[in-house]
């Protein structure tokens, strides 16, 4: 879980997403069928959290453990759980 601990004038940030389970933002690369991309992500055990749109370079957000390796996508960033 993300956090910021403030103690006596100093702070420490902790990475995380605040809701548990890692979040991964991926971009749909050129010419891919988004339905196939989302199906593969689910078959790999990820939950589809959000889909920006269906055009090339639009983003999808997945939640789950491990690092997604979904054909037709590029990982942009992962947020730890």
> 18-79 in CATH: which number?
3.30.70
Say which DSSP state 22 is in. -
> Where exactly are the structural domains of the chain?
18-79
Local confidence pLDDT in tens for the 81 residues of the chain: 455 566 666 666 666 655 667 899 999 987 778 888 999 999 999 999 999 988 888 899 999 988 999 998 999 999 887
**pLDDT for position 78:** 92
Number of H helices, E strands in the chain: 1, 6
DSSP E strand boundaries for the chain: 3-7, 10-14, 23-28, 47-51, 59-63, 73-79
Greatest Cα-to-Cα distance within the chain, rounded to the nearest angstrom: 53
pTM: 0.76
Residue 55 backbone phi and psi in degrees, to 5: -85, 160
């Amino acid at each position: 879980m993300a956090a910021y601990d403030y103690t006596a004038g100093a702070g420490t940030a902790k990475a995380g997403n605040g809701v548990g389970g890692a979040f991964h933002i991926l971009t749909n690369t050129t010419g891919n069928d988004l339905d196939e991309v989302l199906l593969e992500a689910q078959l790999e055990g990820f939950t589809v959290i959000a889909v920006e749109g269906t055009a090339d370079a639009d983003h999808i957000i997945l939640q789950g453990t491990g690092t997604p390796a979904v054909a037709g996508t590029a990982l942009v960033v992962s947020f730890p759980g």
